[in-house]
């Protein structure tokens, strides 16, 4: 799973019927370590009701399509809202 921040929404006047009722978000992938941008923004279909500026985790490829019951033609899906995360000093031994 990958980290991203919701930076916008995408609206389409025409789309595949399997996309009806689904929200498309513009997300900016981030590095887990320091939350700096990783590449450019991408479009992901929302499976969890994420909102503006929220940090989310997302999946790509086949995993994105199976996040939905009807398996729409998608390459990326938001599958969780991140409340917080810890990367460094998780376990000190």
pLDDT, tens only, 5-39: 999 999 999 989 888 899 999 999 999 889 999 99
CATH 2.40.50.220 for domain 2-81, yes or no, is: yes
Only one residue has tokens 């513009």, namely: 26
Report domain extents, the chain.
Answer: 2-81
Nearest CA-CA partner of 58 in 40, 45, 41: 45
Residue 3 and residue 31 in contact, taking contact as beta carbons nearer than 8 Å: yes
Give CA separation, 14 vs 19, 26, 48, in Å. 10, 18, 23
- Terminal CA-to-CA distance of the chain, rounded, Å? 26
- pTM of this prediction? 0.86
């Amino acid at each position: 799973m990958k980290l991203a921040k919701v930076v916008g929404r995408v609206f389409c006047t025409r789309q595949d019927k399997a996309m009806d009722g689904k929200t498309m978000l513009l997300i900016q992938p981030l590095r887990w370590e320091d939350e700096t941008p990783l590449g450019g923004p991408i479009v992901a279909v929302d499976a969890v009701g994420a909102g503006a500026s929220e940090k989310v985790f997302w999946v790509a490829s086949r995993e994105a399509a199976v996040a939905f019951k009807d398996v729409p033609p998608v390459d990326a899906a938001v599958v969780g809202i991140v409340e917080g995360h810890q990367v460094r000093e998780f376990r000190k031994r």
